[in-house]
Structures are given as structure tokens and as C-alpha cells.
Amino acid sequence: MPRPRTLSDEQLLSMVLEVIQSEGPEGATFAAVSKASGLSGSTLVQRFATKAGMLRAALLHAWDRLDAETARLADHVAKTPEGGIALLTGLSQDYGDNPASYAEGLMLLQEDFRDPVLRARGAAWGATLTAALAERFSEWKNAETIARLMLSQWQGSLLWWGFSAEGAVADYVERELRLFLAALEPQKN
């Protein structure tokens, strides 16, 4: 009879993510996760088989959380361009007001690009987010194109905020997205 798990998969994957965020993907070893979780290295090997498997599982868990937060926000913001701003501003909250948090997220992004399973999750999230934004521009010409451009503007604004550290990330993102919408206003039906 197998021993009962002392940590749920969700708890353990959250701990692995914390190690990845604090030590980087290279530092997220079985030994480091063992120290953080209190589980033995052999238990971790039984659960994940390889370090790559552990990283993938943790990053898939992060994608699950991002998918859930995206769905929650999409269900609660207005289906208007203002709702699009609220959706993207809400998704920016995890970076706090410290550009280093955003930089750490970019460090994890390289792992997503390297792994085809994770890369597919990112592409799927992008499609979901594009569709959610397009709903908020349903009365505009080229709603899907506007949604894709807004996503690019959002990601660009996060990058430029990281360089400038100009105020709170949510305020910076909101201001940049409002400028984007103002520039598009003549395109409205």
C-alpha cells in the first residue's frame, strides 16, 4: 500500500515554482526542491522522474493558474474596450511594482520557448486572450486584429515599464493602453 502524500500536487508544484522564481530554472534541482518542500529527493524523482519533468509540471501548473485568472477576469470585466483595458491591467498585477519581478517572469519564458508542450500552452493562452479581447471590440472594424495589436501594446508597455520603473505597473499599463485606444478611435464602426 503506497504511503499517503504529505503535500498535494498543487502545493508541491507551487513550491517548485517558488524555487524556480528564487533560484532560476537552473537552480531548481531536486536537492533545492527537497530542501524547500521537506520531501526527499527520491520522492521527487518518483513524482517527476527528471528535473525537466519537474520544471515542465511546475510551469504547466503556472499556465493553469494563468488560464484560470484570465477566465475569471474575462468573465467579470465589461465587454467593452474599457473592459479590455481592465482585463490586461488585471493580468499585470502579478508583477507588483518591482521590475525585477517582471524580469524573473521573462527568465521563465525562455523555458516555455524551449519546451514544445509549454510553447503550445502559451500559444493557446494567446489565442484565448485574443478572443476575449476581440469580444470587447465586437462593434469595431477588424476586432481580432485590434485585439492582437492590443496584446502587443500590452506586452510592450510591460517591457518599457520594466526599464523605466515609472510608478505602479497597473497605472503604467492602463495609461499606455488608453493611448493605444485613443489612436484607434477613428477605426471604430
Q: What is the pLDDT of residues 132-157, one digit of tens each?
A: 999 999 988 899 999 999 999 999 99
Q: For 111-132, how does the pLDDT look when each residue is reduced to its tens digit (9 = 90+)?
A: 888 899 999 999 999 999 999 9
pLDDT of 61: 94
- Amino acid in the structure at residue 62: A
Q: Does the structure show a pLDDT above 70 at 2?
A: no
Each residue of 82-106: pLDDT tens digit?
999 999 999 988 776 777 777 777 7
* Span 60-187 CATH architecture: Orthogonal Bundle (1.10)
Domain ranges of the chain: 60-187
The beta-carbon contacts of 120-125 under 8 Å, at least 24 apart in sequence, are 121/60, 121/63, 122/63, 125/63, 125/66, 125/67, 125/70
The pTM of the full predicted model, rounded to 2 decimals, is: 0.86
